[in-house]
């Protein structure tokens, strides 16, 4: 990929050389397999969750998911994976992938409370050059409508020094 944007070029190069660190927020049925896969292809992963018990048990090498073996979690930890509830560590990651729940509301629409809570936790710690990806199930346009304002009010320009 060629680009005149130096921030983007440096991100792409870091990923290509497996030097990027991926931050996964929400270490559940979606977040853990995603973390395992990134680690498998050689990228470092820092996992974030508000559930302290889950954070501590993952760091002990235990599995919270029946179909994932504890040995897989242990290999991931040995490869550098770490789970944390400390969102001040967000600057350590190059990409942030949100995998928090979006339960259906009474009106059968995704409830975005967990996504919005996540954005409030990460917003003060965002830095230029990061890429944000929303993995949670929601309606098309949620990234532009709900996530963008958190980024732009920090003074970042999407597509220029911050990426979706």
Closest approach of ligand NAD to the CB of residue 46, in Å = 12
Closest approach of ligand NAD to the CB of residue 144, in Å = 18
Q: In the complex with ligand NAD, which residue's Cβ is closer, 31 or 129?
A: 31
CA dist 92 and 130 (Å) reads: 10
Q: In the complex with ligand NAD, which residue's Cβ is closer, 92 or 135?
A: 135
Interface residues with ligand NAD (CB under 6 A)?
25-31, 48-51, 54, 99-102, 114, 117-118, 121, 135-137
From residue 37, give the alpha-carbon distance in Å to each of 91, 141, 146: 22, 27, 28
CA dist 155 and 157 (Å) reads: 7
Q: Are 95 and 22 in contact (CB under 8 A)?
A: yes
Q: Are 133 and 97 in contact (CB under 8 A)?
A: yes
CA dist 18 and 38 (Å) reads: 10
Residue number closest to ligand NAD, CB atom: 28
Q: In the complex with ligand NAD, which residue's Cβ is closer, 11 or 151?
A: 151
Closest approach of ligand NAD to the CB of residue 139, in Å = 12
Closest approach of ligand NAD to the CB of residue 137, in Å = 3
Closest approach of ligand NAD to the CB of residue 123, in Å = 12
Q: Are 92 and 129 in contact (CB under 8 A)?
A: no
Q: In the complex with ligand NAD, which residue's Cβ is closer, 22 or 25?
A: 25
């Amino acid at each position: 990929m060629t680009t005149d944007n130096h921030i983007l070029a440096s991100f792409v190069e870091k990923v290509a050389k497996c030097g990027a660190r991926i931050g996964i927020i929400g270490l559940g049925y979606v977040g853990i397999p995603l973390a395992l896969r990134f680690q498998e292809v050689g990228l470092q992963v820092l996992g974030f969750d508000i559930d302290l018990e889950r954070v501590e048990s993952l760091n002990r090498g235990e599995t919270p998911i029946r179909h994932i073996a504890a040995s897989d979690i242990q290999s991931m930890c040995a490869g550098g994976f770490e789970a944390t509830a400390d969102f001040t560590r967000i600057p350590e990651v190059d990409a942030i992938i949100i995998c928090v729940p979006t339960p259906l509301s009474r009106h059968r629409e995704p409830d975005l409370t967990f996504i919005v809570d996540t954005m409030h936790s990460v917003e003060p710690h965002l830095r230029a050059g990061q890429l944000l990806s929303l993995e949670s199930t929601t309606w098309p346009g949620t990234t532009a409508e709900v996530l963008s304002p958190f980024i732009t009010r920090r003074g970042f320009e999407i597509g220029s020094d911050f990426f979706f």
